[in-house]
């Protein structure tokens, strides 16, 4: 930069000299100026050369210093980068450790949350199951209380009706004995006959409801009672069916599948019929693997666990085979229900079947066959009978209300008859009061007259004896 400045100054100096030369025409002066210009040019070149050398040296020193500074800065930058990389590596390791700890804490938190949610869900399910059980129990108790309240209400109403009837009958009997005519007696008799007929129908309906209440009591006794074990097969099944159902409600040796030729031992005739008039059957078959059960009892007496396990498996296989046979031979909707009942005749065998894990559920799920023992079958049959009776009672409830409506109508007519009777009695009472008043007046008028003896009176008034005798006969 300095070199170019010097060159510019020299050029300016030359221009000034030329301008002066042009101004002056003197040759000597021009020569002097030329010499002076040459001298100044040489000095200027020397100065320029020296300045260039100084500039080159200065530039060399500056470049050397710049290189050293650059190397120093590069070293500092490298050290700084290494330090930053080490710091970043340390921070990265710390962050990885923190992230690992956070992931571990999050995993533990998720596990705890999952366990808490599972416990909460289990508790909710348990509360729901308990609530459902309580609701079912409350519903059952409510039904029992409703039936009992209905029975008590009907009994109280009937007792009140009977008491009112007896009271009114007594009043009317006394009234008829005293004052009423034969026509009134006939009409009252007809009215009470109709009322008695209606009451008899009401008593009949009440008897059916009492029978239903007894059936509810018997169902409770069955659910709390343990039957004697050891009664076998068809005899016990027939006895249970006879104990619960009427002969019209079940049948023996029924061909549940039309045209198959396979006959089930017993079948319950469910209420209602199909369009073709054929009843809907519920097949029940009794099975008793006696040999396997005896081997199981013998192994249990000998405390032989392997033999007992083998016998238990044999019983399970036998029951599965029997359930499959029942499903294939006797169950055929819509001729039958979509399930059947397999009856084992002893409580011990039934308990052993229930001890086999998942056997009862597998029979219901795979073959649609319900496994029952004596107690459970009796409870099931009583439940079915309760359903039958409930349906019958629902059908007859309209008739009961109709009878009660007719009784109400007859009592309205009976009230009208009583009102008319009361009116007649009031008229008779007024007539008697008037006669009594006249009698008192006549007695006061005849008070001063001396009375005669009975004999003399009969002689003078002979017709009074006949009138007195007639009055005694009427009374």
Give the tens place of pLDDT for each residue, 99-127. 778 778 878 887 888 788 788 888 888 88
Nearest residue to 220 via CA among 153, 285, 143, 155: 143
What pLDDT score does 353 carry? 87
Which backbone phi and psi does 230 adopt, to 5 degrees?
105, 0
Helix, strand, or coil here: 13?
A: helix
In order along the chain (475 residues), what is the average pLDDT of each group of 10 residues?
A: 66 71 58 72 76 77 80 80 80 80 80 81 82 81 79 79 76 67 64 64 62 50 37 77 85 84 86 67 87 87 88 89 90 85 88 88 89 88 80 65 69 73 79 79 68 65 54 49
What pLDDT score does 321 carry? 92
Q: Domain segments of the chain: what residues? A: 131-210+400-431, 228-372
Nearest residue to 327 via CA among 312, 313, 337: 337
Which residues are within 8 A (CB) of 21 and not within 5 positions of it... i.e. 6 or more apart? Answer: 29, 30, 33
What pLDDT score does 223 carry? 35
Q: Cis ω on the peptide bond leading into residue 334 (within 30° of 0)?
A: yes
| CB distance 165 to 418 below 8 Å | no
CA dist 32 and 446 (Å) reads 212
Question: Which residue intervals of 281-373 are DSSP H helices?
Answer: 290-301, 305-330, 347-355, 359-367
Distance of CA 428 to the CA centre of its chain: 70
What pLDDT score does 185 carry? 64
Nearest residue to 250 via CA among 389, 381, 396: 381
Q: How many CB atoms lie within 10 A of CB 340?
A: 24
Query: pLDDT tens, 412-430?
Result: 776 777 778 778 777 877 8
Tokens encoding 160: 């009140």
What pLDDT score does 199 carry? 59
What pLDDT score does 273 carry? 57
Query: pLDDT tens, 300-327?
Result: 888 888 888 888 898 889 999 999 999 9
What pLDDT score does 456 carry? 64
What pLDDT score does 400 carry? 63
Consecutive H or E run containing 254: strand 250-254
């Amino acid at each position: 930069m300095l070199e170019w400045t010097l060159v510019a100054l020299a050029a300016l100096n030359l221009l000034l000299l030329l301008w002066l030369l042009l101004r002056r025409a003197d040759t000597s002066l021009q020569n002097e100026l030329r010499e002076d210009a040459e001298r100044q040019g040489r000095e200027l070149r020397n100065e320029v050369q020296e300045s260039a050398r100084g500039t080159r040296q200065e530039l060399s020193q500056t470049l050397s210093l710049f290189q050293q500074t650059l190397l120093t800065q590069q070293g500092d930058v490298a050290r700084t980068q290494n330090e930053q990389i080490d710091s970043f590596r340390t921070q990265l390791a710390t962050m990885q450790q923190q992230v690992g700890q956070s992931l571990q804490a999050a995993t533990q938190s998720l596990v705890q949350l999952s366990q808490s949610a599972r416990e909460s869900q289990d508790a909710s399910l348990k509360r729901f199951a308990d609530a459902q059980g309580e609701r079912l129990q409350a519903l059952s108790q409510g039904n029992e209380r409703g039936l009992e309240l209905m029975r008590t209400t009907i009994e109280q109403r009937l007792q009140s009706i009977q008491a009112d009837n007896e009271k009114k009958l007594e009043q009317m009997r006394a009234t008829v004995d005293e004052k009423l005519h034969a026509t009134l007696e006939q009409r009252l008799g007809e009215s009470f006959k109709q009322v008695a007929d209606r009451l008899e129908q009401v008593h009949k309906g009440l008897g059916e409801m009492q029978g239903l209440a007894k059936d509810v009591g018997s169902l409770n006794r069955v659910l709390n009672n343990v039957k004697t074990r050891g009664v076998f097969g068809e005899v016990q099944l027939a006895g249970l069916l006879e104990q619960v159902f009427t002969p019209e409600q079940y049948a023996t040796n029924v061909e549940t599948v039309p045209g198959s030729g396979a006959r089930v031992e017993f079948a319950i005739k469910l209420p209602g019929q199909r369009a073709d008039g054929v009843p809907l059957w519920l097949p029940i078959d009794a099975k008793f693997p006696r040999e396997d059960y005896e081997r199981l009892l013998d192994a249990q007496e000998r405390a032989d666990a392997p033999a007992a396990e083998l016998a238990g498996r044999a019983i399970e296989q036998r029951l599965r085979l029997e359930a499959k046979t029942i499903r294939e031979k006797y169950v055929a909707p819509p001729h039958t229900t979509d399930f059947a009942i397999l009856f084992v005749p002893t409580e011990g065998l039934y308990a052993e079947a229930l001890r086999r894990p998942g056997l009862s559920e597998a029979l219901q799920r795979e073959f649609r066959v319900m496994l029952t023992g004596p107690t459970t079958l009796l409870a099931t049959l009583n439940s079915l009978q309760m359903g039958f009776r409930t349906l019958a009672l629902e059908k007859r409830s309209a008739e009961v209300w109709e009878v009660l409506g007719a009784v109400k109508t007859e009592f309205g007519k009976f009230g009208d008859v009583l009102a008319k009777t009361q009116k007649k009695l009031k008229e008779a009472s007024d007539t008697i009061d008037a006669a009594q008043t006249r009698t008192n007046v006549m007695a006061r008028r005849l008070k001063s007259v001396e009375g005669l003896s009975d004999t003399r009176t009969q002689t003078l008034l002979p017709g009074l004896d006949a009138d007195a005798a007639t009055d005694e006969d009427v009374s």
